[in-house]
Every structure is written in C-alpha cells, then in structure tokens.
C-alpha cells in the first residue's frame, strides 16, 4: 500500500509540474489565434519580434498594422487621426495580444465584455498582465495628446455603422484628460487586460511589449516566474483547474 501511495504521489507531482509547464507556451482561445504556437517567418512590421514562436499568422500580423482592419473593425481614428507615435504603441499592444505565446498565466474566461455584433467568438482573454513600468509610461507619454471619447475601449461603443463610433453624449478629448496617469491608460483601456507595475524591463517580473529579439524573448522567463508563483498569488481559473487535477486524482484513487 505504501508503495502504491508513493507512486501516486509521484504521479501527482509530475502532473502538477506538467500543468505549470502547459501555460508557458500556449495560445488563447480567441478569434485569430492559432491553436498552438510555432515559427512564423513572414510576420509583418512590429510583430516580427515573435517570428520564432508565435500565436499569430503572417496575415494577422499585417492586419494588426491597419488603421481599421478586418481583425475587429476597430477604428483608432474615432476622434480624428491618431498620431503615428501613439499608434505604434497600439500596434505593439495588438502584436503582443495576437502573437505572444507567453501570456498563459493570465488567460481567463471572457465575461462582461460588450463585443461588436456577431463577434461572440472569443472564449478567453488576458487579465491583469503585469506590464513593465517603462512600457506603460512610454505608451501614455506618446499618446497623451491623442484624442478619444472613452476610457474603456472594450465596451459601450456605437456599432450601428459596423465600426466603433463614439456614443451619443461622449465628448472627444485628449488622452491626458481621459487617462490622467499612465496606470489609468494601461489598466482601464482594455478592461484590466494589463496591470501597471513598478517592475522594470529585464527584471523578469513584468511583460515587455517591446524587446530586442536578438537577445531572446524576455517574456518567457516572466511567464515561468508567474506560473510557478501564481498571478498575484492567485492563478487564473484555467491554471487552477490544471493544478487541482493531480490532487483530485490522488483523492479519488
């Protein structure tokens, strides 16, 4: 009996380790993501950072650079033309979301988001991804004079024309008034998909939107750290399910 329990304990430990590893290299269940990450040599523009291992296709990466692409019919220029230096951050945000295989620890089920008509396709999203201080602050700095009418871009738009338009009564104004602080921009604009942190690039404790692929992808180590230690000491429901499976098996046996 003792030997049997020892074998079961070893099996449970192996399964727990495998569960943690499974979130280190994965794609979320969403509209344009591949089922599994892999090389994509033809990735376009700013998305090329992920060409060695990507959840996006070349076509998705090209569309990520369009002002209003078929990806989501979302128009960056809903309050006038977005400045180029600001747009680069939104392109990079899109590339990270679509292409990164290192967001597993923060993948969560979709709930409470108002998506465009006919787009009930997304089952998973990212939640509270710890964004590096520099990435968030540079995003805010380069976009503070851009114009928008809403602080939460996930919901509340007028989609009657097929693309996002400002709802009646919402006034266009500079980002710096809609988002007074960098944290407001990074955390509110996509319903807490990102979390502002005091962690710096290269610390191994925050996700970088921008990095030099010649030096490798720093987000691999970040995902590993949070998979082992938990997202804010509280793993996502998907991760919890994977981690509880070995214990449940041991209990049943």
In the chain, which residues have pLDDT < 70? 1-21, 111-122, 231-253
Contact 14, 242 (CB under 8 A): no
Pairing of strands 107-109, 147-148: unpaired
**Of 24, 8, 23, which is closest to residue 242 (Cα–Cα)?**
23
Q: What is the largest CA-CA distance in the chain?
A: 72
**pLDDT of the residue at 110:** 77
**pLDDT of the residue at 121:** 52
Interior CA angle at 189 toward 186 and 192, to 5°? Answer: 70
Rounded to an integer, what is the distance from CA 232 to the centroid of its chain?
16
Separation between Cα atoms, residue 129 and residue 81, nearest integer Å: 28
Strand partners, 54: 38
119-125: long-range contacts, CB 8 A cutoff, minimum separation 24 = 119/31, 119/72, 121/30, 121/31, 122/29, 122/30, 122/31, 123/29, 123/30, 124/28, 124/29, 124/30, 124/238, 125/28, 125/30, 125/193
Per-domain residue ranges for the chain? 17-111+122-229
Contact 99, 92 (CB under 8 A): no
pTM above 0.75, yes or no: yes
Separation between Cα atoms, residue 202 and residue 109, nearest integer Å: 29
Contacts of 174 (CB under 8 A, 6+ apart): 144, 145, 146, 147
Taking only the tens place, the pLDDT of each residue in 182-211 is 999 999 999 999 999 999 999 999 999 999
Separation between Cα atoms, residue 194 and residue 209, nearest integer Å: 11
Contacts of 253 (CB under 8 A, 6+ apart): 8
Taking only the tens place, the pLDDT of each residue in 58-90 is 999 999 999 877 788 899 999 999 999 999 999
DSSP assignment letter at 30: S
């Amino acid at each position: 009996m003792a030997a049997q329990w020892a074998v079961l304990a070893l099996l449970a430990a192996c399964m727990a380790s495998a569960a943690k590893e499974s979130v280190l290299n994965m794609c979320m269940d969403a509209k344009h993501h591949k089922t599994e990450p892999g090389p994509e040599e033809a990735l376009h523009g700013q998305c090329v950072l992920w060409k060695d291992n990507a959840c996006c296709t070349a076509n998705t990466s090209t569309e990520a650079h369009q002002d209003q692409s078929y990806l989501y019919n979302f128009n960056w220029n809903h309050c006038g033309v977005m400045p180029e230096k600001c747009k680069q951050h939104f392109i990079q945000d899109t590339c990270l979301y679509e292409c990164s295989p290192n967001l597993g620890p923060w993948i969560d089920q979709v709930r409470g988001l108002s998506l465009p008509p006919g787009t009930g396709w997304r089952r998973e999203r990212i939640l509270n991804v710890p964004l590096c201080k520099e990435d968030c602050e540079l995003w805010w700095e380069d976009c503070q004079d851009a114009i928008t009418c809403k602080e939460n871009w996930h919901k509340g738009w007028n989609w009657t024309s097929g693309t996002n338009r400002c709802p009646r009564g919402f006034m266009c104004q500079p980002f710096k008034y809609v988002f007074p602080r960098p944290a407001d921009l990074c955390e509110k604009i996509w319903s807490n998909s990102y979390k502002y942190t005091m962690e710096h690039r290269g610390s191994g404790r925050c996700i970088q939107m921008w990095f030099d692929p010649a030096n490798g992808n720093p987000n691999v180590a970040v995902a590993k750290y949070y998979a082992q230690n938990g997202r804010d000491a509280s793993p996502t429901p998907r991760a919890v399910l994977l981690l509880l499976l070995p214990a449940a098996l041991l209990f049943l046996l």
